[in-house]
A = this chain, B = another copy of it.
Amino acid sequence: MMTTRITELLGIQYPIIQGGMIWCSGWKLASAVSEAGGLGLIGSGSMYPDVLEEHIVQCKAATNKPFGVNLPLLYPQIADHIDIILRHQVPIVFTSAGNPKTYASIFREHGVKVVHVVSSTKFALKAQEAGCSAVVAEGFEAGGHNGREETTTMCLIPAVSRALDIPVIAAGGIYDGRSMAAAFALGAEGVQMGSRFIATPEASAHEAFKEAVLRAGEGDTLLTLKELTPVRLLRNPFFSAVMEAYASGADKDTLAELLGRGRAKKGMFLGDLAEGELEVGQISAMMDKIQPAGEIVHEVMEEFVRICERLGKISH
């Protein structure tokens, strides 16, 4: 047990949240993390409404502990998703990719706690004004879609913590007890880990993608496609094609055409490592094994406590 404003808000034992990732985080992963005392999130951005409903039902059957749904606000069938979340009384929603203003009040009216994912202090303040209960402040090193200002976790967390009254969850580069302790030193009261939870048996990612994440070394991911939506990708033949397009002066339309549709599914869910879009964070370079999600939660917490104790002795 460990108490911060985040554990109290979400009703969890440990301030460790599993990032709600498209194609990777269904009910198996979310329920495993929640069962271990953290907060599991179902990544609804890659699910049709009926699929999301099935995952919520299964998640409830697998754990009595709180879990949540990650809801990208640009999702085309968002009204259906919201309806399902409310109908099944999911207690927590993490919103991302959009303005939480309209949606935060709908959820709040129904007693659902809303946490919004931001990449800048400006958007963090907007989330607070919109009535969100907390924010996830996600740095440049994080996998997948990311902010245009490229502010890193080290610079973002102190800025957001200083500006907000509501508590801050740090994301981007967090994967163990050391980085969790660093996030707490910077002012966070919880952490969200995405990449680390891809390398679990419970993640719904394709095995080939999981293996690619483990093989990733330093410098193997880069933020790209900034003219569309900035996204951190693992280098692969598709990534090389994007680089070639840039080198030959491709404009926004050409890039959008090259990206096409369905590439994230192709890479992360279907395991096409050549043609797929492989979203993962810089910290994949530190990962070297597949490990049960619950074991990760406990290992990170134990190391976090050890690091904090070590730091506590520095001044004596």
Contacts and interface: CB of A to CB of B under 8 A. Distances in A.
Interface in A24-70: none
A286 B159 contact: yes
A238 B149 CA distance: 18
B154 A176 contact: no
Interface of A: 2, 120-122, 139-141, 148-155, 158-159, 162, 172-174, 176, 178-179, 181-187, 218-219, 222-223, 249, 282-283, 285-286, 305, 307-309, 311-315
Given A149-B218, A219-B148, A141 B154 contact: yes
A313 B309 CA distance: 8
Contact of A176 (B150, B158, B172, B309): B158
B282 A155 contact: yes
Contact of A184 (B120, B184, B314): B314
A219 B151 contact: yes
Contact of A186 (B121, B149, B179, B223): B179
B173 A178 contact: no
A173 B307 CA distance: 21
A218 B141 contact: no
Contact of A311 (B121, B179, B185, B285): B185
Which 9 interchain pairs have the tightest Cβ spacing?
A312-B312, A149-B219, A154-B173, A182-B182, A181-B185, A305-B315, A182-B185, A152-B152, A308-B311
Given A249-B249, A308-B311, A312-B312, A158 B140 contact: no
B159 A218 contact: yes
